[in-house]
Structure 1
Amino acid sequence: MHNCPLCQSLDIKHYYEDKRREYLQCQQCELVFVNPDQRLDAKAEKAHYDLHENDPNDEGYRRFLSRVSDPILTRIAPNSHGLDFGCGPGPTLSLMLEEQGHTMSLYDLYYHPDRLVLDTSYDFITATEVIEHLYEPNKVWQQWLNLVKPGGWIGLMTKMVIDVEAFASWHYKNDLTHVVFFSRKTFQYLAERDQLELEFISNDVILLRKAQ
């Protein structure tokens, strides 16, 4: 019996199964997640991440990230201090925000594992293509809530579940490092539970603001 890795509910049902993995869904927060028995180990997970080639000089990659940075920049004060959580081997979003006058700290479990940056507080946090990789999303979510100052922002990028029919042909689930899948209803559940202001900027960009 598995509980929800996000809200800890025990009300879990089978959602979908393909040749490689079974997917379960929480009936409380509607998170879809891979059966924990079928997740990669840390060595295999990192080997997959090592294949990523994120180049800060790649204009296409910058355009991709600007879908998070642009709305964040219109909402934060000048000279804000941010944390790019899960920045990967080639931090780029942090550079884009520094170019606009903000101070950035970096954290990544494999590539920037400096836990000292998790001992301070921030005006905003960004996590692009991160949240779908989390084995313990509840712990990381609570960590973000503790790290961001009252009135601060959390900017996320992740593709969201629509329904089972769309999920069946969804390429996003085929990445073996993708283990949890949020929907709009999942974010709405979290926003209501944690008293966060929620904005869906696009189909895969989500902003949340902590109460003042």
Structure 2
Amino acid sequence: MQSSPSCGLCASVKVFHYHQDKYRHYWQCHQCGLVFVDASEHLTAQQEKEIYDSHENDLADLGYRRFLSRVSEPLLARLEAPSSGLDFGCGPGPLLAKMLKEAGHEVALYDLYYANKPEVLTGQYDFITCTEVIEHIAEPEKVLTQLFSLLKPGAPLVLMTKLVIDRERFRTWHYKNDLTHIAFFSRKTFDYVAQIYDSEVEFIGNDVIVLTKPEVQAAPSEEAL
């Protein structure tokens, strides 16, 4: 067995071997609970994109729209139109952005392979969506730090990813069988993320997570000094 890697979320080296299947080894971090695949077993960028290119993302697919409504509905309940947001990891068929635009919001698009526009990663946004993306990220700490830096105070980061429940269920979990999935979060992991970024966390259903950036605290008035 290969030597223990370090965690891409909290950088801890206190990790243990969690599971092995015919394709890969999986490790879990003692500190934050992230389950992950070591970089030595990641696909190449070309292999990864070939898998993404094979996905069907039809903007007219009503089933896909219902799936994404699990993100859009709780997000829209938090927003006042017009708001300006970012769909990070939008993929080749950015249906979620289309749904949010239909509700009166502006949405910038970013995707490493399909909308690689670094200029949109310099703004400030009223919301950010990140659906079925974080599980593809080798170093989630870097991405989460970047996304939180783009949020305005009080703005939500809404993620969609399936959650690790326990080791026994992980063994037969279909979600791990996608070889582009390399980082698996649990409620414990998102509680850790919320603590690190001083944000509130809310779990909606089985796979939607809302992390809300704190409001800026007002400076004390002269009378209070």
How do residues 1-212 of structure 1 correspond to structure 2 at under 5 angstroms?
1-212=4-215
**Which amino acid is the alignment partner of residue 55 of structure 1?**
D
Partner of 2:222: none
3-state SS, counterpart of residue 54 of structure 2: coil
Please report the RMSD computed on the Cα atoms of aligned residues, expressed in angstroms: 0.7
Structure having the larger proportion of residues in strand? 1
**Which amino acid is the alignment partner of residue 23 of structure 1?**
Y
**Which amino acid is the alignment partner of residue 131 of structure 1?**
I
Following superposition, the deviation at residue 192 of structure 1 comes to: 1.4
Structure with the greater alpha carbon radius of gyration: 2
Report runs of 4+ in structure 1 exceeding 4 Å deviation.
Answer: none
Output the TM-score relative to the length of structure 2.
Answer: 0.93
Partner Cα distance (1:136, 1:9) in 2: 13
**Which amino acid is the alignment partner of residue 120 of structure 1?**
G
| Structure 2 unaligned spans of 5+ | 216-225
**Count of residues in Structure 1 that have an aligned counterpart in Structure 2:** 212
1:90-120 per-residue CA deviation (whole Å, 9 max, x = no partner) reads: 1100000000000000000000000000010
**Which amino acid is the alignment partner of residue 50 of structure 2?**
A
Identity %: 58
Output the TM-score relative to the length of structure 1.
Answer: 0.99
1:123-157 per-residue CA deviation (whole Å, 9 max, x = no partner) reads: 00001100100112111010111011110000110
Q: Which moved more, 1:190-199 or 1:172-181?
A: 190-199
| Structure 1 unaligned spans of 5+ | none
Following superposition, the deviation at residue 35 of structure 1 comes to: 2.0
Partner Cα distance (1:117, 1:124) in 2: 13
